Amino acid sequence: MGSSGLLTSLIDGILIGVVYGLAAMGLTLIWGVMNVINLSHGTIIAFGMFGVYLIFTTLGLNPYLTLVLVAILGLLLGVAIYFIAIQRVIDAPHLSTLLATFAVNMILLGVGTAVFTTNFRNVDYALGNIQMGQITVLGTRLVAALAAVFVAGALYFFLYKTRPGKYIRAVANNRAAAELMGIPSTQILALSFGIGTMLAAIAGGLIATLFPFTILSGGVYELKSFVIGVLGGLGNPIGSLAGGLILGLLESIIPIVMPNTWVPILEFVLFIIILLIRPTGIFGAKE
Amino acid sequence: MKKWLNPGLWITLLITVAIGIWPIITQEAAKREVIFTVLMAIVFASSLNILLGYTGYVSFGHVVFFGLGGYVGMYLIKEYEASIWLAALAGGIAAGLLAFLLGKAILKLRGAYFALVTIGVNEAMRAFVNNFQPFGGPIGLELNFKVYKPYGGPADALWMVYYATFALAILVAVLSYAVKQSKFGLSLMAIREDEDAAEVMGVVPHNAKTWAFILSAILPGVVGVLFFFKNGNIEPAGAFRLHYSIENLVMVMLGGQGTVLGPVLGAFGYQRLRGFLVTNPIFKNIQLSIAGGLLLLIVLFIPAGAVGWLRNRFPRLRRVLS
């Protein structure tokens, strides 16, 4: 492989990595605010994929426009999940919230499989190639990465510059103290969960424009999100972007030196090592 | 001697025997297959309960012991023509050894971090076996039909595996009762309630946790060998199926975590319900959603599980249900 081939796969890795980062952002936001590992994350990503797919194929809207609609639906779904399944067990031991979100996952996946079956779908939409010297970049990948960066920026602005965002950070920091300051913690927790699922749905929608998918595809991205979340620091949504970049680069570089099938081994070994050495993640805060 | 006369043990044993003896009486192969999955789940869920219920550590990727045990056993049977008993023993030892090595490293993590790392271990193992040529890589290992010959042909071998799994289910009930009644079990429960306080009271948490992890890994490893020997083949996606771990967590929750009888009832209830939903024409397509809805209701409203609920609701039952 020549240097241009290496550069092409590096750039591909970066572009995909940013989208991975967006997928993990929702998981890590929910973890950071309420210490809940959302095991329905993968299926919500898959719902995002199917949301874009359905609107694109039936209404013929531009897939990037449909993302707005998918985002709103994702937010509403998340708020509903919070009030139905999470609120009652939010202070219970970890096993309860893990199983509650897993139960939600089963419900959603059951409905999804019954409606969509497990056949492969793809969003048939192309933006051509972008040629820079000897390097070729797929248009959809570039746009997906830009959209992911834009959403991450918007999240940053929301969390740090707006009042509800500051409430979310206050609740994440210390829920009891935030309540004493008059912050309505239940609504803020519901909003955080909603934003978390919204981010997952948007990421799913973007991934749908890149690769073919089934209703079960979310599981792969959920596992990737765990790895990224740990890389970037669980509870640090912006760190996810950096974690995603690392993962994307690893996935593009490792196949050059060893067989492709070794990628998941290295990913998960890295995941275990980081959890053992520094459970708050490379970019995470000190405990 | 007195603790061996406790009705808590005998009720559990009676129920386990009642479940397992049914196909033996009727001698129906179809019933045997149904009950086999129940007995296997009893062994897996009760083992998991030692770690989850007694010690309070959530092992999400517990199926890694099942898969690794299965692979080691199948490899010995295929490559060295080992007997099923030797293979099952080797599978259990392999699982226990992995738990020992892992426990040294990962049991210092608490709560959700521990749960996450066990998922990572299972996925790493699956990816590794996918690339490990002695274990057949992505294709896995397939047994030749003639390995069943020494056991009187495939039909008899299936019955033999059934009896062995039945014996394991009884063994696991005795084991989880013995652990619960022992000083070791008491130290595990102290760790569950408050690990730091337990340490102050003289429990060495790391040793106790490691032993609990090893104990909870061995029998899933053994039953993995029996299961894949019965199936005749093993491949990575089937051996390290994260979903099976989580189903077993559900069974423990359903029956009552930290109780001896709970996982037995939970395994029976869950597998029968699943069997009903999968075969029912109305629920067939949506069975996953219904199972999920039930799980959600249990997690939200009866977190102590069936046995735990009974013990809380009727304090007198505490003497007979353990």
Contact B58 A98 (CB under 8 A): yes
In a domain, A282, yes or no: no
Does residue B48 sit at the A interface (CB-CB below 8 Å)? no
pLDDT single digits (tens) A44-96: 999 999 999 999 999 888 888 899 999 999 999 999 999 999 999 998 888 88
Which residues constitute the domain of residue B205?
A: 2-319
Q: How far is B106 from B312, CA to CA, in rounded Å?
A: 34
* pLDDT class of B236 with cuts at 50, 70, 90: very high
Q: How far is A31 from A179, CA to CA, in rounded Å?
A: 19
Residue A198 has a pLDDT of: 96
Lowest mean pLDDT among A82-86, A194-198, B298-302: B298-302
- Mean pLDDT of the B254-261 span: 91
Contact call for residues A16 and A141 (beta carbons, < 8 A): yes
Q: At what angle do helices B63-80 and B84-106 cross, to 10 degrees?
A: 140
Contact B119 A223 (CB under 8 A): yes
For residue B124, which amino acid is it?
A
In a domain, A286, yes or no: no
Tell the residue number behind the tokens 């874009």, with chain if given: A52
Angle of CA points A104, A106, A112, to nearest 5°: 105
Please name every residue paired with B141 in a beta bridge, in sequence order, or none if there are none: B234
Residue B294 has pLDDT above 80, yes or no: yes
CATH number at residue A134: 1.10.3470
Backbone angles phi, psi at A213, to 5 degrees: -150, 165
pLDDT single digits (tens) B127-154: 999 999 999 999 999 998 888 888 888 8
Q: Which among B248, B300, B301 is the top mutation candidate for probing chain A, defined by the most A β-carbons within 10 Å of its own β-carbon?
A: B300
Residue A220, Cβ neighbours under 10 Å: how many? 16
Contact A104 B105 (CB under 8 A): no
Q: Which among B117, B139, B284 is the top mutation candidate for probing chain A, defined by the most A β-carbons within 10 Å of its own β-carbon?
A: B117
CATH number at residue B120: 1.10.3470
Give alpha helix (H) positions in A35-91. 41-59, 63-81
Does residue A230 sit at the B interface (CB-CB below 8 Å)? yes
In a domain, A283, yes or no: no
In percent, how much of chain A has pLDDT > 70? 96
Does residue A131 sit at the B interface (CB-CB below 8 Å)? no
Residues of A in contact with B285 (CB under 8 A): 113-114
The total domain count for chain B is 1
As given in the structure block, the two tokens for residue A66 are: 């449909």
Chain-centroid distance, C-alpha A270: 19
Residue B45 has pLDDT above 70, yes or no: yes
Does residue B109 sit at the A interface (CB-CB below 8 Å)? yes
Cβ burial of A285 (10 Å; 0-12, 13-18, 19+) is: exposed
| ipTM computed for the complex | 0.85
Residue B153 has a pLDDT of: 85
Contact A275 B117 (CB under 8 A): yes
For residue A138, which amino acid is it?
L
Does residue A270 sit at the B interface (CB-CB below 8 Å)? no
Contact call for residues B149 and B90 (beta carbons, < 8 A): no
Buried/exposed A77-99: b ≥16 CB within 10 Å, e otherwise = bbbebbeebbbbbbeeebbbbbb
Q: How far is B12 from B174, CA to CA, in rounded Å?
A: 9
Residue A149 has a pLDDT of: 93
Q: How far is B158 from B301, CA to CA, in rounded Å?
A: 40
Output the pTM of the full model. 0.89
Handedness of CA B154, B156, B157, B161 (dihedral sign): positive
For chain A, give me the number of helices (H) and strands (E)?
11, 2
- Mean pLDDT of the B51-73 span: 93
* pLDDT class of A17 with cuts at 50, 70, 90: very high
- Mean pLDDT of the B174-203 span: 92
In a domain, A25, yes or no: yes
Does residue A137 sit at the B interface (CB-CB below 8 Å)? no
Residue B212, Cβ neighbours under 10 Å: how many? 27
Residue A286 has a pLDDT of: 46
Q: How far is B234 from B239, CA to CA, in rounded Å?
A: 7
As given in the structure block, the two tokens for residue A161 are: 């510059």
Listed in sequence order, the residues at least 6 apart from A225 whose beta carbon sits closer than 8 Å to its beta carbon are A20, A23, A24, A26, A27, A28, A41, A42
Contact A265 B56 (CB under 8 A): no
Q: Mean pLDDT over all residues of chain A?
A: 89
What count of CB pairs under 8 Å joins A to B? 125
The total domain count for chain A is 1
* pLDDT class of A287 with cuts at 50, 70, 90: very low
Residue A246 has pLDDT above 50, yes or no: yes
pLDDT single digits (tens) A254-274: 888 888 888 888 889 988 888
Q: How far is A78 from A38, CA to CA, in rounded Å?
A: 11
Q: Closest approach of chain B CAs to the CA of A129, in angstroms?
A: 33
Residue from A43, A47, A50, A51 nearest A103 by CA:
A43
Q: Mean pLDDT over all residues of chain B?
A: 91
Q: How far is A97 from A101, CA to CA, in rounded Å?
A: 6
* pLDDT class of A285 with cuts at 50, 70, 90: low
Which residues constitute the domain of residue A33?
A: 3-277
Does residue A259 sit at the B interface (CB-CB below 8 Å)? yes
Cβ burial of B57 (10 Å; 0-12, 13-18, 19+) is: buried
Residue B7 has a pLDDT of: 84
Contact B299 A100 (CB under 8 A): yes
Residue A253, Cβ neighbours under 10 Å: how many? 14
Angle of CA points B206, B212, B216, to nearest 5°: 145
* Run of H or E including B89: helix B84-106
- Mean pLDDT of the B271-275 span: 88
**Who among B58, B112, B285 is closest to A114 (CB)?**
B285
* pLDDT class of B235 with cuts at 50, 70, 90: very high
Residues of A in contact with B293 (CB under 8 A): 103, 107
In a domain, A95, yes or no: yes
* Distances, alpha carbon A98 to alpha carbons A39, B17, B69, B246, B296, in Å: 7, 33, 27, 10, 11
Contact call for residues B172 and B219 (beta carbons, < 8 A): yes
* pLDDT class of A1 with cuts at 50, 70, 90: low
In a domain, A287, yes or no: no
* Nearest residue on chain B to A260, alpha-carbon basis: B131
